[in-house]
Chain A
Amino acid sequence: MTYEKKSDAHWVAMVLAIAETRDRSAFAELFRYFAPRVKAFLMKSGADESLAEECMQDVMATLWRKAKMYDPGRASVATWIFTIARNRKIDLIRKSARPEPEDLPWGPEAAPDQTEVVALQQESQRLAEALRELPEKQRILIERAYFGDMTHNEIAAEMGLPLGTVKSRIRLALDRLRHSMT
């Protein structure tokens, strides 16, 4: 089940449709694109197939329940779903909930600034392109780091690379990714 890639602006509209009108077809559309990726991410993080399927179901249900918390001025939809998947995975591994930073103050008038939303969407797109274009050795390390459960030391040990090499490759990759965001 593959699904055509859409712009972040499209996904933002889908999440807002859930928040505002409980739009089930918007949910289904988000599901078709993100659920297979969330499941793949969880399997890369060490979950077996059935656990990944269950955990992905939790993640997508959370997306529905928390749709009104989503702030398009702060994160792309992919980033928001990444944080939900990461937290759900950690909650399953540990008995306690993952500590999250305090939310910033938020009032009823604080609708996100549209220029900020657009800038963030363009930035997310450039970031995804930059990740795709990283030299393979760097890209693999970044992905490994984000599958979680491993510190940079542990990645070095597991891949049989000197810690200095891992650290400098990650640093080079981060420089390139940051450059894409400015």
Chain B
Amino acid sequence: MTIEPKHNISDELLMSYAAGALSQAFDIVVASHVSLSPDSRVRLDGFESIGGAVLDEMDAADLAEDSLDRALARIEGVEPEPREIRLRSDAVLPEPVQKLVGGDIDAIEWRGIGMGVKQAVLHDDDHGTARLLYIPAGGEMPRHTHRGLEMTLVLQGAYSDEDGRYGRGDIEVAGQETHHSPTAEAGEACICLIATDARLKFDGLLPRIAQPFIGI
């Protein structure tokens, strides 16, 4: 039996995802969270149906004269793709992450960043970065604040911070006002998927110096 996540994504962010307004790094996290959260999936269907209503209510644009002929020529001889049977997966990584990693957790190429903490960058562009972070059981992330938005999704284990406990499928969204130091629970290493749109700001002098090398 699957345990349903307790911390789900906000309507505002889910609506932005449905509308296609988030950047790739955040899309990866939201798609992964929705894969693990039946509640968020139902709400996403609702937001996408508003998109359908917006499309349905559009004033029709003029098409090119040969538009329909071109479309018919394009589908000529094309066989609609078969729908494949999908079985329930017991992988640790949700499908959007598996696609980027090229497999399940065994396929992740970790890089150590000190104190047993490891990371693997999945996506990086001008708008944000998505990475997997491995925190050993009982381990602590350096205390930090944010310059932008940070989304954290737990994939394995659990962590706690000033705002509560987060287990598999739970998502935490932190903004500039959040100042936290997450600690992984004892027992099992914690693997999180994190998207940021700006570099984290660590409090201690040492992490700040190390930051350009670590790339967080």
Report A's interface with B, CB cutoff 8 A: 1-3, 18-19, 22, 24, 27-28, 31-32, 34-41, 43-44, 52-53, 56-57, 60-61, 64-69, 74-76, 78-83, 85-87, 89-90, 94, 96, 98-108, 123-124, 127-128, 130-132, 142-143, 145-152, 167, 170, 174, 177-178, 181
Q: What's the least CB distance linking A81 to chain B, in Å?
A: 6
Q: Which residue of A lies closest to B25 (CB)?
A: A99
User: Is residue B205 within 8 Å, beta carbon to beta carbon, of the partner chain?
Assistant: no
Q: How far is the CB of A45 from chain B (nearest CB, A)?
A: 8
CB pair B96–A102 under 8 Å, yes or no, is yes
B96 touches A100 (CB 8 A): yes
Interface residues of A: mostly helix, strand, loop or mixed? Answer: helix
B66-74, B160-168, B184-192: which lies at the interface: B66-74
B40-99 contacts to A (CB < 8 Å): 41, 44-46, 48-64, 67-68, 70-72, 74-75, 78-83, 85-89, 94-96, 99
Pairs across A and B, CB under 8 Å, 23 listed: A1-B60, A24-B75, A36-B60, A44-B58, A60-B71, A61-B75, A64-B80, A68-B80, A68-B81, A69-B83, A81-B52, A99-B27, A99-B30, A101-B41, A102-B89, A102-B94, A103-B95, A107-B85, A108-B85, A124-B49, A128-B56, A132-B57, A146-B18
Q: Chain B residues with Cβ under 8 A from A101's Cβ?
A: 31-32, 34-35, 41, 44, 94-96
Contacts of B53 in A (CB 8 A): 78-79, 124, 127-128, 130-131, 177
Query: How close is B178's CB to chain A, nearest CB, in angstroms?
Result: 17
Question: Least Cβ distance of B197 to chain A in Å?
Answer: 11
Complex partner residue of B80 from A65, A82, A132, CB under 8 angstroms: A65
**Partner among B16, B18, B88, B96 whose Cβ is within 8 Å of the Cβ of A99:** B96
- Find the B residue at minimum CB distance from A148: B20
B44, chain A: closest CB distance, angstroms: 7
CB <8 Å contact, A131 and B20: no
Query: A69: shortest Cβ distance to chain B, in Å?
Result: 6
Q: Does B28 contact A (CB under 8 A)?
A: yes
Interface size on B, residues (CB 8 A): 62
Across the A-B interface, give the 3 residue pairs with the lowest CB-CB distance, nearest first.
Answer: A79-B52, A36-B60, A40-B61
Cβ–Cβ < 8 Å partners of A130 in chain B = 53
Which residues of chain A come closer than 8 Å to B41, judged between CB atoms? 101, 104
Q: Kindly list chain B residues whose C-beta atoms are within 8 Å of the C-beta of A79.
A: 48-49, 51-53, 55
Q: Is the CB of B48 within 8 A of A75?
A: yes
